[in-house]
Amino acid sequence: MDHGHYHSPEEKKKQLNRLAKATGHLAHVRAMIENDEDCAEVLIQLAAVNSALRNLGKEIINEHMTHCIIHAIEDGDTTAVEEFQKAVKKFI
């Protein structure tokens, strides 16, 4: 997005940590498949990865709304708001 926005280092660190955990979990799922582990267990682990990614997305949406979108509205940047709405629709 073209609008200037700021992400707090604390929030960014939390988001990157969550993403790293999900990435590690997904690598474990890959290993499970490669090792012909039980399909039910693979599906359970995939569900956990999906949940982790959805929760990360929700955190990003919340953080963006409480900071970037408020500033975009204050600055009259309707394009940023419209772009974010499109992104949220794709996420949902």
25 occurs within a structural domain: yes
3 occurs within a structural domain: no
- What is the number of other CB atoms lying within 10 angstroms of the CB of residue 53? 16
Count of structural domains, the chain: 1
**Predicted local distance difference test score (pLDDT) of residue 1:** 43
CA distance 15 to 40: 29
CATH code at 79? 1.20.58
CA distance 35 to 18: 26
CA distance 72 to 78: 7
81-84 contact pairs (CB < 8 A, 24+): 83/1, 84/1
User: Which H helix or E strand runs over 80?
Assistant: helix 78-91
**Predicted local distance difference test score (pLDDT) of residue 37:** 97
**Predicted local distance difference test score (pLDDT) of residue 4:** 58
47 occurs within a structural domain: no
Q: Which domain holds residue 31?
A: 9-39+53-91
71 occurs within a structural domain: yes
pLDDT of the chain, 92 residues: tens digit per residue: 444 566 788 989 999 999 999 999 999 999 999 999 999 999 999 999 999 999 999 999 998 888 888 888 888 888 988 999 999 999 99
